[in-house]
Structure 1
Amino acid sequence: VAPITTGHEKVRGVVATIQDITTEKELDKVKDEFVYVVAHELGNPIFAIDGYLSILDEKIKKSDKETKDILSSAKSVNQQLSSLVNDLLEAVRNEQGQLTCELDSIDLVSIFKEVTSSASFKAKTKEIKINYLESKIPKVIGNEQKIREVATNLVDNAIKYSPNKGSIEVFHEIEGKEVITHVRDTGYGMSAEEQEKLFDKFYRIKNEDTKGVSGTGLGLFICRQIVEKCGGRIWAESEKGKGSTISLSLRKTK
């Protein structure tokens, strides 16, 4: 809506512009349905390939290192494809409002303790030290499986976007009726513009530092959807070249 004025800035009327976005919404729906069908159909062959690779891995002699290495690489690529399919399916479910989170009282300490312990093996390949500062905090409202998925994604991202010999720190703090969990790294950091887009669907930071880092651009988008479904918040604080801190806040049960 825009006003029509005279030379003396007296309003004589208004002009209203109406745009029909029905077609755009229909196209978005078709796109989501297409992605869902393709991702769903890819699921079974990926699972089958993984099974066949595992059988071959068991049958090949341990002394045949070159073949074992090739199989290991094939399994790694197949796992990446599997993760992509799962991310696509979950993203579409989120968009269609099909993401369900049955809320319960959950223990963040046990979740992050397990996730950081599992991630330490991957971190060692880059000589990255993960320090989980365990503390006494109350239980929070959330979905254990989904919040574990969020925790895994945040810690995995911290490893991927940190240079060799970096460090990651995970800790909690209580603020009013919320428990805030921080995942802080000594990685490449982000500009203010990159932080604004960080949780957008398919957004990935692309620069010289992140060249070669694999990903779909869906992980943090899904994390935001999950955290918000649990009644919480998630945000990023960072400075270029000085690392990043991703924080999530969930309500205390009491």
Structure 2
Amino acid sequence: MARFNDKVAIITGSSNGIGQATAVLFASEGAKVTITGRNAERLEVTKKLLQDAHIPDSHINIVVGDITQESVQEALIKTTLEKFGKIDILVNNAGAGIPDPQGKTGVNQSISTYHKTFELNVQSVLEMTQKARPHLAKSQGEIVNISSIGAGPAAQVANPYYSIAKAALDQYTRTAAIDLAPENIRVNSVSPGAVATGFSTVSRGLDEQKSKAMYEYLGSQKECIPRGFCAGPEDIAKVIAFLADRNASNYIIGQTIVADGGTSLILGAHAHGARMVEAIFK
């Protein structure tokens, strides 16, 4: 029996990348899925991937829209209940580092960029959690938030608002886990490192070829990713599925699983190699 048989999952930000891979994985293992994103064409790509995996249309619900808008949040809950009758899993995946309109970095980024970054990466998660809560309580369900190793402890100078937003999300995950535990709702999160998705293409203005080259370079540099390669969206989707599977992770609440190939374990000094440094100063 597939582990998500008879389960219903809402996966935000599922028009590409990690959210898309999660939707395909969940549905392939029996779940009925609501997919959502701002780009209707990219959502159709996700739908096509689901159909190619032999998922029937009766197991697919699509909501096009901006997750920061209350009307879209309400549509996600309403249409999921109308089509599937319940909600078992909420994956709060939608998120992004929003570029400053004037190209500013660090502490010089505009306050409007700060507000937009928090609205997407934190506030939308709070709102979706509140709206899904009564339905997850009925099903004794799961929430998985998608954070980032950018949350720290290493500084992220170029885009600090994204980093502090994800740090706030980590604390919210811990708080929500304890608050919702009496209702038998489990809350956990995943913190990916570098993942080869369309994220760099959109946020950094790279075309597909340059984006691919960037990820390949990162993966080849052991001081960047000790594992030796850059993760694909499917690698992170498998971690999300583990946390959404009560049979596999029942005793885990309020935790953040880091899936970064060892990136967060490396110090700057490691790039030089301890033996080389010792040889210089002997």
TM-score by length of 2: 0.22
Higher helix proportion (structure 1 or 2): 2
Higher strand proportion (structure 1 or 2): 1
TM-score by length of 1: 0.24
